Amino acid sequence: MDLTKHRQILNEGLHHIINDYNQFKQRFNEQKPSSHDLSLIDQVNQWRRNSIDKIRQKAKDCIEIIVKSSQTFLNDIEKKFNDLNEQIKQLQRENEFNEINLNYLRNQLIKIKEELNNPPKTSIEQDCQPFINEISVIPLEKKPIFNKWKQNAVTVAGGNGKAQELSQLNSPRGIFIDEKKNIFIADHDNHHIVKWKCNAKEGQIIAGENKEGNRMDQLNRPTDVVVDQQDHSIIIADKGNRRVIQWLNQTQQILIDSIHCHGLAIDKHGFLYVSDWKKNKVKRWKMGEYNNEGIVVAGGNERGNQLSQLNSPGFIFVDEDQSVYVSDQNNHRVMKWIKDAQEGIVVAGGNGEGGNLNQLSSPAGVIVNDLDQIYVADYLNHRIQKFEKIL
């Protein structure tokens, strides 16, 4: 009896589910575009109309220029014909002409014929810039995928020659951009760190304004800079002085000493990563805990080209999973070291030094985006390379 009653309850439950399903299906079949979708469609249609009107007007203007140019040429030829005709009639009326007059008329007629047979060449020149504004639809549920960039960049810092003025830079190396879009630049050959606010015309020296040196308030060929978002302190790879130093409100503190530092990175868990180009390894410290040797997270097995080795590591990048990407400069490759791994994975280059698409030459800066696309500053090939992940 209990089994029969239980089966009846189950059947009733299934019946309710079927009813809900049928009602939902009916609503789904009657579903129409929302007011938001209709608004977007109206925007697309308006863009189409505006673009077509703009193209039609441009085409009309171009055709008018072509017709006007052609008519101007023909009018000029006609005028020359009329002038020549008047000269011929005048000679006929006066009835006094010789071989010189005839040769002149003959040559003039030949010139006019040649000019008519060889009109000026008009050509169409297409501008590389888009003529109409491009639009795209970005689904809110997915991250937008950007695979194209404008070829003409906007200078956001420097660009006024190589010197020491606040509007200038001298061999900038590492950069860091904070949440307010301020750009922090390791101005290598000027031996200081400059901060450029968004849309500023010049930078502000925030570290190393006392020229090259090894005092606490001086820098020597800094190669990289990061900002601790917690206390807004500036952490600098002071390569020439072999130290990682922190600047906080013009107060300096050496965090790590006697290290051949080059690249820096901070992860979301509060760890500082430093590449040691001479000892061929990347080490990690907990922020604020620098009274230890740090933990080796990449390399550390002497210089070499094996998967467990590095050769003059430079700039570094750390992703959300604490994987470390290293520009392995003298091995002409970029390595990825997954957290706690004993050896790395070649993710870019690694096919000898060269300029082919599968090669690098002394890679420098490296950045990895949310789509696992790797961007590498291919230093000696003077190019930026993008490497896609194989799915």
**Could you report the per-residue pLDDT of 92-106, keeping only the tens digit for each?**
888 877 888 888 888
Check residue 58 and give its pLDDT.
85
2: pLDDT strictly greater than 80: no
Query: pLDDT tens across 277-292, in order?
Result: 999 999 999 988 998 9
Check residue 333 and give its pLDDT.
95
Taking Cα atoms as reference points, which of 342, 275, 264 lies closest to residue 311? 275
Does 147 or 204 have the greater pLDDT score?
A: 204
Range with the largest mean pLDDT of 69-83, 101-115, 134-148, 317-331: 317-331
Asked if 273 contacts 282 with a C-beta cutoff of 8 angstroms, the reply is yes
- The pLDDT > 90 percentage for the chain reads 40
Does 130 or 306 have the greater pLDDT score?
A: 306
Overall pTM surpassing 0.85 (yes/no):
no
Range with the largest mean pLDDT of 48-57, 173-182, 297-306, 353-362: 297-306
13: pLDDT strictly greater than 70: yes
Q: Across residues 107-119, what is the average pLDDT?
A: 87
Taking Cα atoms as reference points, which of 298, 302, 300 lies closest to residue 322? 298
d(CA 293, CA 290): 8
Check residue 6 and give its pLDDT.
80
Check residue 152 and give its pLDDT.
62
226: pLDDT strictly greater than 90: yes
Q: Which long-range contacts (CB under 8 A, 24 or more apart) does 209-218 make?
A: 212/240, 214/241, 216/245, 216/252, 216/254, 217/250, 217/252, 218/191
Confidence of residue 352 (pLDDT cuts 50, 70, 90): very high
DSSP class per residue in 57-86? HHHHHHHHHHHHHHHHHHHHHHHHHHHHHH
Point out the least confidently predicted range of 113-122, 137-146, 226-235, 310-319: 137-146
Check residue 328 and give its pLDDT.
96
Backbone angles phi, psi at 276, to 5 degrees: -110, 100
Check residue 311 and give its pLDDT.
96
Check residue 128 and give its pLDDT.
55
204: pLDDT strictly greater than 90: yes
Taking Cα atoms as reference points, which of 348, 339, 382 lies closest to residue 366? 348
Check residue 348 and give its pLDDT.
92
Range with the largest mean pLDDT of 85-89, 131-135, 353-357: 353-357
Check residue 147 and give its pLDDT.
56
Check residue 325 and give its pLDDT.
96
State the first-to-last Cα distance of the chain, in angstroms, to the nearest integer: 57
132: pLDDT strictly greater than 90: no
Listed in sequence order, the residues at least 6 apart from 286 whose beta carbon sits closer than 8 Å to its beta carbon are 270, 271, 272
Q: Mean pLDDT across the chain, nearest whole number?
A: 87
Confidence of residue 130 (pLDDT cuts 50, 70, 90): low
319: pLDDT strictly greater than 70: yes
Q: Across residues 102-128, what is the average pLDDT?
A: 82
